[in-house]
């Protein structure tokens, strides 16, 4: 298998030298749960399913949050490697906090510790473009996409699609062969409304129409038979409520503790080592909460790095950890959330792929999202980044069966 893949890569490299670099448009619909497209009328998602490959679901990395998972999709790396341990976290070496709402940290390359696909492409002479993908605003390893947009949620979805089509109509010398496109729905609706509600279904139908516009635009291009479309999401969504709250400070004395995050997961650092004994005893008796000392965090989470705290707390599906000083009847949480154990099925997202490199009518089992990076590298004919010690954790063998016979 390894010999065959090396032979295929050589053929692809020769093809690139004579001007045959294929195209990949990778699209993310934030918070699109694995089963949303099965709940309502989605003819364009169905088209991709019938004319390409679809996964039963795609499992996120831990934590099942937006920034960690979009960067895992882009790098093929787990959280332990790329270092984005949440949408917001404190780095013990930098002695600073990273936050998705802080443009200065988002645009600073020091926070991104793995190489994203657009940097891999640009290093090897393949032009890339990004429309709001996590990490693309920072010059990682000194490289940025040839075309990029700083995040602005007010830009309409139609305008984003129009831009992608326009980029693919540029002269060949400046045309991107890799495009990363991001939409922030149905995540927003899933948080604000019950993920099981008809309002989420309505939003899914709208997103299906956006996907349809993109497919139609791509199909109209002279290079349509060279375009591969990969559609993913970063995570799913599960219902939560005020009736399922875990009030930490009703169970433990938070004095001299450092508590980071709340919601589906939280972390705790103790200021003095002797605090651990009493703290652990109290934590493990809290209902609906999994408690992991740092040295006992499950390996499958791939979460331990320099920023991992003394304790990781993970709520049961649908429960919410609250760490505020005051917890009263007026405390309100959203109707849906994510960030739970990646094995919780409601945390799973979607994966579709279609195009000349992809077999048609193929359904595959659930897989982890880190395996998307090597797939895109293979389609583009580029070598995954770095020497062996820096190689991504993603494995091409996982998605190899969806490639056309001529590509395998």
Which residues are known catalytic residues? 66
CB 136 within 8 A of CB 145: yes
- The DSSP string of 291-355 is EEEGGGS-GGG---STT--SEEEEEPTT-EEE--S---TT----SEE--S-TTSGGG-B-EEEES
Q: Round to whole Å and give the CA distance between 106 and 124.
A: 25
The phi, psi pair for 202, rounded to 5°, reads: -60, -45
Buried b (16+ CB within 10 A) or exposed e, 370-407: bbbbbbbbbbbbbebbeeeeeebbbbbebbbebbeeeb
CB 56 within 8 A of CB 366: yes
Q: Round to whole Å and give the CA distance between 276 and 384.
A: 42
Residue 387, Ramachandran bin (φ over 0: left; ψ between -120 and 50: alpha; else beta): beta
Q: Are β-strands 96-99 and 88-91 bridged in parallel, bridged antiparallel, or unpaired?
A: antiparallel
Q: Round to whole Å and give the CA distance between 107 and 130.
A: 14
Cα 133 to Cα 101, 138, 158, 219, 222: the distances in Å are 14, 11, 17, 23, 26
Contact partners, residue 398, CB within 8 Å, separation at least 6: 367, 368, 371
Nearest to 36 by CA among 336, 315, 245, 287: 336
């Amino acid at each position: 298998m390894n010999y065959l893949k090396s032979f295929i890569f050589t053929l692809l490299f020769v093809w690139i030298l004579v001007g045959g670099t294929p195209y990949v448009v990778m699209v993310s619909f934030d918070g699109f749960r694995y089963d949303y497209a099965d709940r309502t009328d989605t003819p364009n998602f169905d088209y991709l399913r019938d004319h390409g490959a679809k996964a039963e679901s795609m499992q996120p990395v831990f934590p099942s949050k937006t920034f960690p998972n979009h960067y895992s999709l882009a790098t093929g790396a787990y959280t332990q490697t790329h270092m984005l341990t949440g949408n917001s976290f404190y780095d013990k070496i930098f002695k600073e906090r990273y936050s998705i709402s802080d443009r200065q940290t988002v645009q600073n390359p020091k926070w991104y510790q793995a190489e994203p696909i657009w940097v891999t492409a640009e290093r090897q002479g393949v032009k890339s473009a990004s429309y709001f993908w996590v990490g693309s605003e920072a010059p990682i390893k000194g490289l940025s996409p040839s075309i990029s947009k700083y995040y602005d949620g007010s830009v309409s979805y139609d305008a984003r699609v129009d831009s992608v089509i326009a980029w693919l109509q540029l002269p060949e010398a400046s045309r991107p062969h890799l495009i990363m496109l991001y939409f922030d729905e149905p995540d927003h609706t899933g948080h604000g409304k019950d993920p099981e509600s008809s309002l989420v279904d309505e939003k899914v139908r709208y997103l299906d129409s956006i996907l349809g516009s993109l497919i139609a635009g791509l199909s109209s291009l002279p290079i349509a038979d060279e375009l591969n479309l990969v559609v993913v999401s970063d995570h799913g969504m599960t219902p939560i409520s005020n009736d399922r709250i875990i009030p930490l400070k009703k169970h433990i004395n938070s004095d001299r503790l450092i508590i980071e995050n709340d919601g589906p997961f939280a972390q705790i650092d103790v200021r003095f080592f002797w605090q651990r004994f009493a703290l652990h005893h109290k934590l493990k008796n809290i209902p609906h909460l999994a408690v992991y000392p740092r040295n006992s965090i499950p390996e499958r989470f791939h979460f331990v790095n320099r920023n991992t705290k003394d304790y990781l707390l993970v709520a049961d599906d649908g429960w919410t950890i609250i760490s505020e000083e005051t917890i009263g009847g007026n405390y309100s949480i959203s109707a849906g959330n994510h960030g739970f154990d990646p094995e919780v099925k409601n945390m799973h997202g979607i994966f579709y792929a279609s195009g000349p490199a992809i077999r048609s009518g193929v359904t595959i089992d659930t897989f982890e999202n880190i395996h998307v990076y090597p797939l895109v590298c293979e389609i583009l004919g580029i070598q995954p980044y770095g020497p062996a010690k820096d190689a991504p954790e993603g494995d091409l063998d996982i998605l190899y069966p969806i490639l056309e016979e001529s590509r395998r």
